[in-house]
Structures are given as C-alpha cells and as structure tokens.
Chains A and B, each alone.
Chain A
C-alpha cells in the first residue's frame, strides 16, 4: 500500500471548518454536507476542508487533540509505556501533515505541534522496529500489536514481510542444504 493511498483514506476524516460563505446542503455520495453558514462551524471531510482552505473559503478549526499540552501528554505516555498507547486519531500523522502544510495559519503553535507529532511518530516507529527485531530474533510465530495506525503498519509492512521471506528462504535453504548434504552424505 502506498503512503499516498493511506493519505487518501485519511482525507475522509471529518474536521471542523468555519466557512466564510453561505451554501445550502451539498449532496454527495459520501453523505450530505452542510449547510454552510458563514461564521458557523461545520464538519466536513478533510479533503473538502483543504480544498476550501486553498480557495480561502474557510478557516479550519484544528482537532481537539492538536494541542501542545495534550500532545505532550501523549508523548510522555508513549515514552513511558512499553507497548503502543492509543493515539488521538487513527490518522494522526496524516492529519497533522496535511493540516500543518495547508492551514498552519489556523493552528496555534504549529511548529511545536509538528515537532511533538514527529516525536510521537519516532517513538512509535522505534518501538515498532524494536518489536520487529525481537519478534524475529525470538522466532515467534505470531505477535499482537495493538493501537497501531494504518500508516505505521504500512511503513513496516514491506520491510518486515520481505525480511521474513528472506529469512525463510535462507533458513529453508540452510535446512535443505544441510539435509541435502546429509542426504548426499548418505
């Protein structure tokens, strides 16, 4: 799966915007949106919010969790805990990225938030690598990882699968070789 695909999925997340135009309900396949009243917050999918934002038709209200204090708390928790902690949003990374890239003027302390989310991400990815390492080194058959987001799974998937395949091959070769050798020995 491509990261862009994950991002595409993330764009379905609802965010609050304050439109500066007036529009009746719009009827879309995904559901009805609006009505849009100027000055009145309304929930729309991220893709629409970004579209409006780019056309300067709205002001995006950052999600509740996109707040320095809350993120700091999460970061601390993430650092403290051995396992993965629940994240504020299943698309936290994508949302942060998109919102900060396109609407950083609507988000107070955007830079700090960027750093914090990156920290959280790094911590989690490090954990993920660590667990992958221990998973392989202990030669477990299966593992259970809770609270992983799609993007995180996606980043490790390719590498993990490939490496597992490789190792499988190597192992089977080794066994085959050894058995073959023994076989030839006989």
Chain B
C-alpha cells in the first residue's frame, strides 16, 4: 500500500483518465487541447489560421514555457487573419521565436526587390554564412507570392540541400510559405516540398510535428503531386510515433494526491478543495470544501471512512468521505499563503490496518490523534530535533512511526513507549520529503528535496521476529524468543517447566510485554553499548588500564551475563548482577591509552612512556641520582608495563600478531658488561603484570602463571595462579599477587591475595585470602610499605595495611578521599612508609591520575585509623595508640625474618606507645573511669604499670591502685612464664646443635632438665652439697640436682636476670630492657646449656663441682649490699625475709659469703681469663700438684679444645663484663632478684604469696611517697 505516490506514478495513472479529469488542469484551454489528440479536421478551421495557431502552440509546448510569452498578433482574431500576407508576418514572427538568436537577415529580405537575381546571390552567400552557424531562417520570399518563380525555387532548393548536408538540423525549418499558397500545387513547388519532407524524414522523428500542408484542405489537394506530398507527410507522422503528450501535462508540480485502489482524493492547491475520485470508473467525484488556503497533504484512513487533510490555512481537517463533511478541524500549523511558503510539507499519516491513530507533524513534534474521539492521544518528540518535521510514516506493523524533518533528521519513535528508538541525520542535511517503510519493517527508504533516495538500514530483526511470533505455536514461540535474546531467560525457563500450562499464560504476558517494547535490535544494541561505554568510561578511569579494545571485551564479557539494566525487556532476573572483572594493571601507572603516561612511579623512580606521532620512547628517572642516571630508551617493542627497583628496570610488552610477548630487563646494577636481557613468552601467553624484588623478577601471564626470574635472567620457579592476575608487587623477598578469585557481584570485585616469601625458607604467608575491598570498588594500588608490609588502595581511596600482629588481617589506615576537597579530586598513591608514617601520593584535581606535564608534585598524607569519635581527646589518643601499634609491627616482622632492626627507633616507638597509654590512663582517671583504667593498664608493659600505680595513688584512687598492683603482679608472672618458653625454644635449637656436635642423642628430658637447672640454678646452687648421684641423674634426664653444672656457668644469672631487671626496677630500666636483651640471653643460654652439658660429661669429679660454687657466689650477692635504697631492693629484701622462713640455711650462708665490692676491679679481662677463673678449680682438682704456669698451660689446652663458638662466647662475656661495668650493678641486682625468684619457683606455696606482697608493698610505697 502506498502512502505517498511519486510524481510519475501520478501522471501515468491519471494519464488515461485525462479527458474525464479536467479539474487536473491548472490552465484550462480544454477545447483546444482536446483537439490536439488527432490530426486537424480539414473543414473545421480555416487552414492557414490553424497553421499559425498550431505553430503558436507548438512553440508554447516546445522548449518549455518561454520567459515572456509574446502576445499574439492583433489580427489573431481579426477577420483579415486569413489573408496570405498576414500569415506571412505571423509565420515570420513565429520563426523568429522558434529560432533562438540567428543573425538578422538582410534588409532586402523582406523587401519586394528581394527576388532580383543579384539579391539572390547575396542571399546565397548569406546562407553559406549561416551554414556554419546552425540552421538559417528561410528567406523572406519563402512566403512571397513570387516564390514560385523558378529562380526562387533554385535558391530554395539550394537552401534545402544546405540543410540536408549539415545533418539533422537542430531546429526544423518551417515549411515554405507556398505551402499554403494556392500555387503550391505547381510541380516545381511540389519538388521543393518533396525535398522538405525528405529532409524531415532523414532527421528522424521530428521533435516538432510539422503542420500539414496548406493544400490539405484546399480543393486542389486531389492532384497527384499533392497527394504524393501528403503521403510523405503521413509517412513522416507514422515514423515519429504517436505525438507526445503536451509537456504541460506533467509540469503541474503542485498537484498532490493520495491513491488508493479505488478512489483517489485529489486536491488542488489553487482552488482550496479536496476531491475524491473513484479511480476505477472516475465516477463519484466528491468535493470536500472548507480549506481557506492551498491544501498541503491528504491521507486516507485505512478503512476508507475518513480523510485527513492539512492546509496552508493552518488547519488539519478530518473529513467524512461519505458525508463529505468536516468531522473535526485542529488549528495546528502555521498559516501561510502558499504551498511554497509552508515551513513543512505536513504529510499526515493514519496508522495502518487499524487506523487507530492519526499522526500529524506539528513543528518538531508529532501529535497522535485517536480515531473516533479525535482526541489528542500523545505527542512524540525528541529533544535533539530542532527543525520542523516534513513527513511521518508508520511502520507496517503500526508500532513505530518514522519521521523526516526539514534539516534531514530521521527519527523512529516507538508509539507505545513514546520513546525515540532511532535517530539518524541525513549526511548532507537535505530536507527529507518522503518516507516509506519496507514491508519487513527493517528498512526505511527516504527521499530528500535534492532528489536523492536513501535507505535507513539495520532497524533490526526483532520486528520481524515479533511479527512472526504470534503465528507460531506458543511454546515454540517463547523458545525462539528466548533463544534469540536471553540466556537468563532460558535459565529461568529451565528452572520452572516452560511448557507447563500454568506457566504459559504468564510467559505469554511477558511476551506481550516484550512485543510492546519498542526497541529495534540495533537500538537495543546501541543502548547496551552506550551503557557499557558509560560504565567503562568510568571504569577506564578507575582501572587506569583499559584500552578501547578492552572495553569492548569487557562489554562483551558483561553483555551475555548481565543484561544492561536499561532494558526492561528481560522479564526475570532481578538478583545481583555480576560486575565486570577489573583488568590487570601495574600499580603506580596511569592508563595505557594515554599518549604520555607514567608507566611506573614508585619509591625508587619514575618510568614515563611517550607514544605520540614523533616519538615512542620511555624515560627512566631515579629519585636518587646515586642509584643510576636517568635513561631514555626508544620503545620499539611497544612496552606497556614497567617496574623499577634499585637494581633493574623491568619492561614488558603484550604480544602482537607476529611478535610474542616480551620481557625486557635493564639490569643496570650488573657488574659485567651485559646490562640487559630479554625473554620471549611462550606462544599465546601475554605478560599481564610484573614486579621486581630484591634479586628476582616476577611476571604473571595470561596463562594464569607466575614466572620467576633471577635478576640476571635465570629462569626460576613457575607456579599457577587460581585466577587471572590483577597485579603484583614485590619487596625484598616478598611477592604479593592479587588475582580474581571469583566473579564479583553488584560492582564488587572478588579478589584473592597471595603473599609469598621467596627467601631460603619458602613459605606462603597469605594463601589466597579474599582481599577486603570497599563496596563497589576495585583495586587501584598494591604494594609494600618501605618497611615491607603489604598494603593496598582501592578506588574509594581507602588504604589498607596488613596487620601481621592480628593474624594477618587487613586494617584500613587511611582514606584519601577524606582529604579531597572536591568529589572529583583523587590522590594517586605512589608509596607508603611506616617510619616515618607517610602516605606519598600525588593530588589530582578532577581526575584519578596525574598528567606527566607539568611534573606533578608529591604530597604526603598522614594516616588515620577509622576509629570512632576521633574528634574527642579519647578517640584521638586511641587512634594514635593503635596506629602506633600497627605501624610498629614491622619491627617484629623484620627481626623474625632476620633483618637488622633499628633498635633506637624501635625503643622510641615502644616508648611512644607507652606514653600514649599513660596519657589515656590519665584521661580515664580524670573521667573517673576506673574500670577503663584497669583495661588500659593491662595493655601496658610491666615496667609502665608502676607508673600507672603511682599516678593512681597520687590521684587518691586506692581501689584502682590495688587492682593495678594485681595486674602488675600478673604481668611479672606472665613474663616469667614467657621467658622459660623462649628459652625452651632456644634450647631446642641448641639441643639439636649439641646432639650433632656430640653425636649423642639428647633426650628432651635432658634439655628440660637443663632449663630447669637454669631456673633453679641459684636456688639450688645455694643449697648444700650436691652429690655425684645427682649429677648422674641429671645426665639421664631427671630433674634432681643441676647445681653441679650450673657452677660452671657463672653468667647464667645475668642472662635470665635481664628480664627480671625490667620487672624489678621499672623506674630505672624503663622500657628498653626486654627487647634489647632479647638477642643476648639467647646466645648465652645456648652457651650455658652447652657448657653445662659438656662439662657434665668429662668432669665427673664431685669435688670439682662442689668447689666451684663459691666462684659463682661472689658475683651474685654483692650488689645486695649496694642497692638497698631502691624500691626493688625493698621488695627483694622482704622477699628474702619471706624466704628465710622456709630456707634459712640457704640464704644466710650466702649473705655471709658476700665478697667485698672491691672484687669488681679484678674482674678477668679476656675470655680465656674468665674461663680460667671458672675452670681453675677443676684443673687444679684434676692435677692438684701443678704449679701456676702448668695450670695455665693446661687451661690453655683445654680452652683451645673448646669449640670456636664457645670461645667466642667466652670472649663476648668477658667483654660484656668489661663494657657493662656501669650495668654491673643493675645486673647484679637483677641477679640477686633472680635468685629470689628462683627460690620461689621451687617453693610452690611461696610463689603466690611473694608477688602479692611485693606488689602491695609497691602500692604502699607509692602512697608513702605521696
């Protein structure tokens, strides 16, 4: 069904009907024109006049409308018009008109003297002249009465010959005048006529039909020669086929109509009315009058009841065809006076089949009017449309409405949802003047005002699918649909029985909904793409790594799983949607699609990549120019990833079509001449992430593998990752890998993290725990702090750090977004340092990453744990405390992994922590929160608790002080228990060593025994006479009398005493004690057990052991007398008293045996001397009759026999004695304290009593002080 007819259609169709459709004519010389169809009737008109008129009309018809129509001659209607001379003038006049611009003929052309022979000569020349300039006009005497003279005929003959020779003349010469003269029947004239017709015949069908000769109607026409001419004339007519219809016929451009198989409405712009014509028999003409201006367009409704028309008077009118009345009229359009001035063609359209709506283009909108009620049902509009709509057209299914506008815009609306589903622009911006849908609904053809035909393609298959759908059986029908569209739906279907009758109706409904949905597939796709682009725009920012190509991938990856939420067509799944997995990236790099980017910015240096027209290069710059000078490399391989360390620069490029993915290492710290190596990845394996550690490099590939290389290029281990890598970081011997653990939902990422220790003792610290990202965020930075604690930053700006002290959990330490001024500002993290606490980052205004130029400046952010109420003093201090605790974890880690630790810093940090605790304690005290005070005190180390006690007592909080003292006691006990444990471990190691040394299997019991020996050493040492049996028992692992062995190791007390010192004298030894001592005790303990173990074996003389005990003793008790003034001393002395009750015999002799303090000066200076001191007795026991030199010699021999370690230990000890002269007092005091403690250990019942007493005494003392 055609909604708009083309111009040719119109003429062809209506051409047959022209006689009956006279109202088609704009100009109506109907009588004249109707006579045109056949040859003229001879008698009807005077022949010559007819000839002239014919010529006149031929002239009008040919060559289009002349610019100025000459007025017909006066005698046109005069009675004398039929005189031959007048005819001559007229002929000339027309000849003049016909020929465009020929040279003027000579004057005598029309003079009476023109027939003289000389004149003829001139004329001859004139014709020759004309020969070159196209067809000449015939001479004047053509029509003169003398033209029939023989000489004139000669000239005419020449003239025709001339015409013949010059090929078909572009312009046909008019027939000679004597055509219609009475003398035309003379034979010579006939000869000329004959020639004339031959000429006409030779030039093919003449564009203009020559008029029949004059004698056509003359009485003399029956002469044979005349008949010959007539015959020729008809031959001519026959050869030229039927005469063409007048040009005028098809030039009525403003006529417009709509055709329908039966009737045609026709409107005439000039007479303001619409006519309806039955096409079949052209009967039943109906005229619809009422428009007050030319009609713009008409349309039938599909049921033939109504007819709508738009007019220049601004009205759109619906007519009832039968009644020929106006049903309704809307003044919608702009008023204009003519069709040519109308802004819009305003082509109306009824919805096909049902005709439910009438679409009326009104400026930039389309109004829909409902059939019947003729109420304004809806308006379709589009914001992007700025120019008036010319034409609207319904899709065959009636669901979509296409519109073409003046500026060349083409829209397709979905009528149900009123949404614009397609929007196109004519590429040249010509106005669209007609639209037609392909019956399948997939294409729209359109034409523009410049005569171009266009096709709008790709309007999707969904329409056809929808169209077909209803015809199919229901069950099949949804299967098809779902197959087409939607996996989710299939899944959905799969869950419930898709063919169950109960289900069917519902699904049908969904189907219907689906059908209602406007979208064409293309548009659907576009929506999806748009959505993806949006999300990925941000994503590319976020990920910082997305390439345009990747985005598509991501979109595709997303597409099938997650239908874009835009589309309501998916009936079913409303649960969480999977989020697109984030791309692999290098922490500290900006997105790869930038032409100038940071490929890496870390604490070592900066790698910049330039990839523009002039240059594809990499700049490497080191923060510390001492590491290496800056480098400039040409990036011929197209590296996209980089890492930089103190040793090397690692670069990698993805694979291209011909080249494999490559890893390049610039190992600038190498001491040989080759500073560079390169490795190709296996086929199909792309480097996705890389990192450098100390002495190694790691590369994660698309094959889910991590490959390790040594920094020199040796391939090392390869292991698989459980998922696609996201990024990696290396530091020292630690490798941190983050990968996709699973699919995240609702914008979350499901990442897993592995932390590997690549040191000699390989182990996995974190084995794939989920990485705790903020909600709906992704990883944006991963790395280690300067001190080696793993750390990461997510896109929400939250920095999290591994808390090794809390079972390797992640603690948020900073939120960079808190410090951002505006929402679009971000901090681009480049490094984290724990000591000093620094978050090094680059502030980026309005973006997530910085530009390379101008060179961004580093900023330092403080850390802040997200604790509650940090505005209050309490909250602040709590935050500080926990932050301090967290940021000092690395000391612990470093020391356990065997690195040297800056002990000063460590003690300082410890002190800081305790100070904070003290402050918090004080604050709680002030707030009268005693319970809280106790809780805080529990966090304190044991040497700070007494301070707290003092504070509490000063502020007169007796109950608090009491409780605190209990805590203090618990702490001391704890520390005592902890120490043996530590020793135990040490001993285990030493035990192993020992057993290997001596080649004898040491029983665990034996080691335990030796530990116990240490604990109880002094106490037992102070006891009376050990026996040899006891010694033997010790050897077999029973725990009887270690004393004999202990005698051999005089330093033992000092070793264990260090911890005690901390406990015992908090006011003097603040803080440092425990940690600083940790290394020393261990070594000595080992030594002790070793020496004891060793000695016990070879030296079996009980006398020796017995005699050795005095050597030990002088060191132990001496300080007792010196340090009486301290609080500690009070405690110990009191303890002593308590002890005395139980063991007076042990204590008292010891006191008595105390040597004079002067012995300090005589302390042995070397390890050997020390050893000799201790072992002299045994030597002398072995050889009682040796003199001094022999003793020394013997001793030297034995000393040499000792293992190197032991000797070293002795030396150390000697030095310790030497250097720690100042510490001596302290140590000895501690030693003595130790002895007291040891005493308690054995006396089990006394154990509890003593700390209680001492603590209460502590508090009592504090009160006294107060």
Residues of A whose CB lies within 8 Å of any CB of B are 16, 18, 20-22, 37-41, 56-57, 59, 61, 108
Contact = CB atoms under 8 A, between A and B. Distances in A.
Main SS at interface, chain B? loop
B622 A61 contact: no
30 contacts: A16-B857, A18-B623, A18-B857, A18-B858, A20-B622, A20-B623, A20-B624, A20-B625, A20-B626, A21-B624, A21-B625, A21-B626, A22-B624, A22-B626, A37-B623, A38-B623, A38-B624, A38-B625, A38-B626, A38-B627, A39-B603, A39-B858, A40-B838, A40-B858, A40-B860, A41-B858, A56-B625, A57-B625, A61-B857, A108-B854
A57 B623 CA distance: 10
A108 B605 CA distance: 22
Given A20-B623, A20-B625, A22-B626, A40 B840 contact: yes
Nearest to A59: B855
A39 B859 CA distance: 11
Contact of B624 (A16, A39, A56): A39
Nearest to B624: A38
Contacts of A57: 625
B857 A41 contact: yes
A84 to B, nearest CB: 31
Report, nearest first, the 5 A-B pairs whose CB atoms are least far apart: A39-B623, A38-B624, A38-B623, A20-B625, A108-B854
Nearest to B857: A61
A16 B627 CA distance: 22
Contacts of A39: 603, 605, 623-624, 858
Contacts of B627: 38
Contacts of A21: 624-626
Contacts of B603: 39
B639 to A, nearest CB: 22
B622, B623, B854, B855, most chain A CB atoms within 10 A: B623
A146 to B, nearest CB: 32
Q: How large is the interface on B (under 10, 10 to 19, 20 to 34, 35 or more residues)?
A: 10 to 19
Nearest to B602: A39
A59 B855 CA distance: 11
Contacts of B860: 40-41
A41 B859 CA distance: 8
Nearest to B601: A39
Contacts of A41: 857-858, 860
B425 to A, nearest CB: 40
Interface in B614-652: 622-627
A18 B606 CA distance: 14
A18 B605 CA distance: 12
Nearest to A56: B625
A18 B858 CA distance: 9
Contacts of A56: 625
A108 to B, nearest CB: 5
Interface in B34-88: none
Contacts of A37: 623
Nearest to A58: B625
B76 to A, nearest CB: 86
B354 to A, nearest CB: 66
A59 B606 CA distance: 14
Contacts of B857: 16, 18, 41, 61
Interface string B844-861: 000000000011011010
B861 to A, nearest CB: 13
A76 to B, nearest CB: 23
Contacts of B605: 39
B122 to A, nearest CB: 89
B50 to A, nearest CB: 92
A61 to B, nearest CB: 6
A38 B622 contact: yes
Contacts of A22: 624, 626
Nearest to B621: A20
Q: Which of the listed residues B603, B624, B626, B840 has the most CB atoms from chain A within 10 Å of its own CB?
A: B624
B643 to A, nearest CB: 16
Contacts of A59: 855
A4 B624 CA distance: 34
B646 to A, nearest CB: 11
A102 to B, nearest CB: 18
A37 B436 CA distance: 74
A112 B598 CA distance: 28
Contacts of A61: 857
A165 to B, nearest CB: 50
Contacts of A18: 623, 857-858
Nearest to B858: A41
Interface in B150-174: none
Nearest to A35: B836
A39 B625 CA distance: 10
A21 B857 CA distance: 17
A22 B627 CA distance: 10
Given A20-B622, A39-B624, A40-B858, 4 more contacts: A16-B857, A20-B626, A38-B623, A41-B857
Nearest to A61: B857
A21 B624 CA distance: 5
Q: Which of A21, A22, A39, A56 has the most CB of B within 10 A?
A: A39
B830 to A, nearest CB: 9
Contacts of B622: 20, 38
B723 to A, nearest CB: 34
Contacts of A38: 622-627
A88 B838 CA distance: 29
A108 B860 CA distance: 22
Nearest to B630: A20
A56 to B, nearest CB: 8
A21 B629 CA distance: 12
A20 B622 CA distance: 8
Contacts of A20: 622-626
Interface in B848-882: 854-855, 857-858, 860
Contacts of B840: 40
Contacts of B855: 59
A47 to B, nearest CB: 21
A113 to B, nearest CB: 13
A21 B626 CA distance: 6
A55 B396 CA distance: 82
A20 B624 CA distance: 4
Contacts of B626: 20-22, 38
Contacts of B624: 20-22, 38-39
Contacts of A40: 623, 838, 840, 858, 860
B936 to A, nearest CB: 34
A56 B860 CA distance: 24
A123 B302 CA distance: 83
Contacts of B623: 18, 20, 37-40
Contacts of B858: 18, 39-41
